[in-house]
Structure 1
């Protein structure tokens, strides 16, 4: 039994270790949304296609002192396409932020008043914007939460509502992802 078990353990270890020893890659969104190459993947994005993606971001982060995994997931989605060879120019991403996720867009001053730290999400939003993502906030969510645009990251665009952003872009061929 030991003669069979030990080689099996070494074989499994040899197969799994390269997956864990990889360094995260950031092909489109620099510094955020790190992803890994999957050499055995047979299903991959097609670099010749145009990808139009609308992210419906309403889930708040788990810990306000850390980057929201949902905000970082937008960067991951973009980087996964980039790693598969999709050029940045063929990846059109729009993000509509509403609900509890709206607080990820607070400027540092307002975020620190609520959470005692600067907003860790703002550098991610800046990197997303530099990578070509269009970041919007729901105007209705602003009113319901007694926020003003001056309370937010200055680069965000205000949408009439999240619902109208969705009903505007989905008929234009944008795929809807809910985070």
Structure 2
């Protein structure tokens, strides 16, 4: 009887271990980057039953105000821009049907400094530079709030190339919202 109990517990443990390893393998997927290369990795969800409509024109304006939490970290809100584009791309929406505009302000403003300006101010190159380039190459339009620039004493020449300046975050968001863009905020 003792051997039967040991055998039963051993078999149960082995089955438990195999089931856990299989579930881990199911979740251990590689990230995909269909629109913004190398950033904003997303995963294929085989169980999903709701997807974006690939025939729609997705117009999204994103209000980015959160900082990175340090001068050596990638700004998670900027990375979410890549995720938004990649999620729509993974969902079957063609790149030409994805129009994402972002306005960066508040604490996030320092995330878009050029490497030289970031290094002069904080002693390290901007960790967001590659992400910003990938976002621009992915077709995402990036604006910075002019009011945030002035409040932080940042000159337009200190920005990473490709960043446009708006009068304010508020006026950019309201203008695009009135043009029919969905508003997201990070």
> Quick one: distance in 2 between partners of 1:30 and 1:77?
13
The CA RMSD over aligned residues, in Å, is 1.4
Answering whether residue 100 of structure 2 is matched by residue 93 of structure 1, we say yes
For the residues of structure 1 that align with 2:122 and 2:75, how far apart are their CA atoms? 13
Counterpart of 2:144 in 1: which secondary structure? Answer: strand
Does residue 1:19 correspond to 2:27, yes or no?
yes
**Distance in 2 between residues matched to 1:68 and 1:43, nearest whole Å:** 29
Gaps of 5+ in 1: none
1:1-33 Cα distance to aligned partner (Å, 9 max, x none): 73545424422331232211x221110001111
Equivalent in the alignment of 1:112: 119
TM-score (norm 2): 0.90
Does 2:184 align with 1:167?
no
Deviations along 1:104-143, one digit per CA (max 9) or x if unpaired, are 1111111012222211112111111111111001011111
Which residue of 67, 72, 80 corresponds with 1:73?
A: 80
Work out the number of aligned pairs and report it. Answer: 178
Give yes or no for the alignment of 1:103 onto 2:110: yes
Q: Give the superposition deviation at 1:91.
A: 0.5
Larger Rg: 1 or 2? 2
State TM-score, norm by structure 1: 0.93
